[in-house]
Every structure is written in structure tokens, then in C-alpha cells.
Amino acid sequence: MKKIFYLFIFTIVLTSCVKDEKPIVVTAENYHQTVDKITEIMVHDIFSPPVASRIYAYSNLAAYQIMRQENKDLIDFTSKFEELKPIPKADTTANINFKLAALIANMEIGKKLIFSEELLTTYRDSLYTEWKRTNEEEFNNSKDYGLAVAQHLSEWIEKDNYKETRTMPKYSVYSDDPGRWQPTPPSYMDGIEPHWPKIRPFTLDSSSQFKPAPHPEFSLKKGTAFYDELVEVYEIKKEMEKTGDDAEEVKIAKFWDCNPYVSTQRGHLMFATKKITPGGHWMGICKIASKKADLDFAQSSYAYTATAIALADGFISCWDEKYSSNLVRPETLINKFIDDNWKPVLQTPPFPEYSSGHSVVSGAASIVLTRIFGDDFNFEDDTEVKYGLPIRSFNSFSHAANEAAISRLYGGIHYRSAVENGIVQGRNLGNHVVKNLNIQPLTY
């Protein structure tokens, strides 16, 4: 009788020790929050626009490839990617949550590519604790698979020439050519990422595949096309000054500034204002569209990854032209030949003028997003609210891209040709990305 009694007590104790485990629920909102966290850390680390685009592309590609294991109807973006072998297949007998594994892979790749790893590790570990508490077996299996995929992709990522470009020579600015780019105030920084065209692209045959039409021939002679564009930049600023910060052109310029490092000098004190990159702004627009369309986790991953690839190839294409043409910025010429007290609305970024990076990547991203969400997808862009700027409304992605492009002329940092030819360059590239990756519209 005592044996039966002790057995009964043992069974009760054993049963009470068994966790009440439930399936781990991972939603599209979790995906948005993770992309936002990586963006936040990139702002903290002050990544340049080209480098930021690389981080977005690889981290989202890792998540998307895992989601394809669960949904075979998702398009295989990687079939044409150079030297990328298929990711490890999941163990079908194991309890694996593919959304969970995708987020883990996204964070793991992101952690490898940013500087402040501890910030992402803290965020990741808070999620790990919650997931493990919910269902330890599901968490462990999903984590193992996510990390395996991340390791597989890391081996491919390391061969994209990024590490090699870190040790290549700085851009040389010594030249008597007045049309050649020179560092600009206030910090007179070296040209950033002069070797970015050497980075392995995703869909391009080469970094020069989508060269823009040539800019007007450099000339300081009145009546020439180039000189007229230079004077236009100067005159636009003078016209805007009549209205001040209330001028719509000023509002547009500041909304699309997206300069990750705006340096301010007050006497001997110098400090930086940090913001998102132009790629970060378009990833934010992708989030806005995904949430408005109520996309699920897999669909959101699809939209983010396609957009990020367009941005990454856009920067490679644009930087190829920038360091080929090496065109001088308006601020340099206006200060030297027209008005030495003139300052642009925006701080001139530290790299050559032609073509406009905002124009190229905005054109490329807008084509991809239009393909996914449709021609007349209207949205409220609150991406810049955290940086003290109001919401702006757009009736399409093309509308937003056009405004992003012209903002560079209003900001006083680009000539008109860089804007107009740049957005054509970007749209041509975007159409190529859509065709190359076979991007299809989403039904939502």
C-alpha cells in the first residue's frame, strides 16, 4: 500500500515539474521590430549609405531563405547569385519554427556586420529568454537551424570583397583640375568608399552595367549647360531664403536629408547628429507599406529582401559612376567663383557629385516596391518623425522617389543633371532587379 502511495506522490510531483509549453508565436511585427533594431544600431554606429545597404541585404536575405523552406511558392532570389550554394535543409523530423529560425538568422547576420554587437546581443537575448520560456525544445531546434543557415551564408558573404576594400588606398584629392571633386565644409572629410564598385553585386553583371547619361561637360563659361546648372543651384537657394524654413522646397530637402553623419562645429567643439541613411529611409517605407497591406511574416520578408537587394545594387551602380566622373560639388564652385559666404541647405556629403545617390537608390527601390504593392499605393511616411520631422504623404512610390531626387537640388548639394539622370539610372536598374529576380506582385 505504501508503495502505491509513494508512486502516486511521485507521479504528482513529476507532472507538476513538466512545463506547460505552447508553440512559439512569431509575427510580422516581430520582423519589423528586428529590422528597426538593426537600423537603430546602424545609426548609432554611423554606417555610410553603401555599407548600410549591404547589411540590410544580407540580414534580410538570411531570413527570406529560411522562409522558403516553409513556403516553396516563394521565389528563389539566389539562383543567380554568384557562388551561393543552397542553404542547409531543415530536419523535417525536428520541431522547427521557421519564422523563429528566420529571425535568429537575420539577427546573427546583422550582428556579424555591425560594430556594436553588444546592442544587438542584448536585444536578441531578451527575445531568447522569452522564447525559451515558452517552448524550450522548439526554441533550441529553431535556433540551431537559424544559426546553421547564418553560418552557411556568412561563408559566402565574406567573399564579396568588402574586407579587401577596407585596406585599399584612400581616395586621392590632389589635382589642379577645377572640375574634380574636392572635400567640402565643415569637416573636409575624405571621399567615402571609393572602392565600393569592387563589391560583389547581387543582380548586376558589373558595377558599370547601368551607367547614367553623361553630365554636361564641365565649364565655368557663362551660357554653357554646366554653368547654367551651377547658377541654378545658387539661385534656388536665394529664392528659398525669401520664405525661409517655411518654403516647401526646404521642407522637402530636410525630410530626405538622410545624412548619417551631419557634423557641427562651434568654436573648438565638433559633434555629430546621427540619422538614418537613404537606404534606411526606403526600408522604413517598405515597413509602412507592409503594415498597411497587413502582410504576414513571409510576405514582409519578401518585400524587405527585394527592396534591400535593389538598394545594394543601386549603391554599387551609383558609386561606380561617382568615382569615375569625380565631379566637383556645387558648394565648392559657388564658394570659389560666385559667393564665398554661400552655404547649401543641407550639408554636402563627402563623395563626388555625379550621379545623385538618393536619386539612384530611390528610383531602384520605388520600382521594386511598385511591382510588389501596385502603381497607386498611397502611404503616410512617418520614417523621419523620430528625427523631428513631420509626416509627409505620397500617392505612390514613384511620387516619393521623385521628391527624394529633387530634394538634392533643393538642398544645394547636386546639380539638376545628377538628379534627373540619376533617377533614370535607378529606375533602369530597378526594372533589371525585378526581371532578374522574377519579382511578382503580392496579393493582400
Note the pLDDT of residue 268.
Answer: 62
Res 119 pLDDT > 50 = yes
169 assigned to some structural domain? no
Cα 274 to Cα 48: distance, rounded to the nearest angstrom: 11
The residue among 135, 163, 191 that closes a domain is: 163
| Rounded average pLDDT over 289-296 | 98
pLDDT digits (tens, 9 = 90+) for 89-101: 999 899 999 999 9
Note the pLDDT of residue 6.
Answer: 44
Q: DSSP secondary structure string, 287-356?
A: HHHHHHTT--HHHHHHHHHHHHHHHHHHHHHHHHHHHHH-BPPHHHHIIIII-TT---SSPPPSS--SS-
| Rounded average pLDDT over 388-403 | 98
| Rounded average pLDDT over 288-303 | 98
Residue 257 and residue 400 in one domain: yes
Note the pLDDT of residue 80.
Answer: 82
Asked if 256 and 404 count as a contact pair (C-beta separation under 8 A), the reply is yes
39 assigned to some structural domain? yes
100 assigned to some structural domain? yes
1 assigned to some structural domain? no
Residue 76 and residue 200 in one domain: no
**Structural domain count of the chain:** 2
pLDDT digits (tens, 9 = 90+) for 1-52: 444 444 444 444 444 444 568 999 999 999 999 999 999 999 999 999 999 9
Residue 134 and residue 192 in one domain: no
Q: What is the mean pLDDT of the chain?
A: 94
Cα 56 to Cα 30: distance, rounded to the nearest angstrom: 16
Residue 310: give the domain boundaries: 179-437
Residue 99 and residue 63 in one domain: yes
The residue among 132, 163, 194 that closes a domain is: 163
Residue 147 and residue 186 in one domain: no
Residue 211 and residue 153 in one domain: no
7 assigned to some structural domain? no
Residue 369 and residue 422 in one domain: yes
CA 347 to chain centre: 20
What pTM value is reported for the model?
0.94
Give the contacts of 267 (CB within 8 A, at least 6 positions apart). none
Res 414 pLDDT > 80 = yes
| Rounded average pLDDT over 303-323 | 98
17 assigned to some structural domain? no
Note the pLDDT of residue 8.
Answer: 44
Percent of the chain with pLDDT over 90: 88
Cα 1 to Cα 4: distance, rounded to the nearest angstrom: 5
Res 425 pLDDT > 60 = yes
Cα 288 to Cα 311: distance, rounded to the nearest angstrom: 17
Residue 241 and residue 158 in one domain: no
The CA-based angle 156-429-53, given to 5 degrees, is 45
Asked if 323 and 68 count as a contact pair (C-beta separation under 8 A), the reply is no
Asked if 50 and 193 count as a contact pair (C-beta separation under 8 A), the reply is yes
The residue among 104, 129, 163 that closes a domain is: 163
Res 280 pLDDT > 80 = yes
14 assigned to some structural domain? no
Residue 148 and residue 185 in one domain: no
Residue 158 and residue 257 in one domain: no
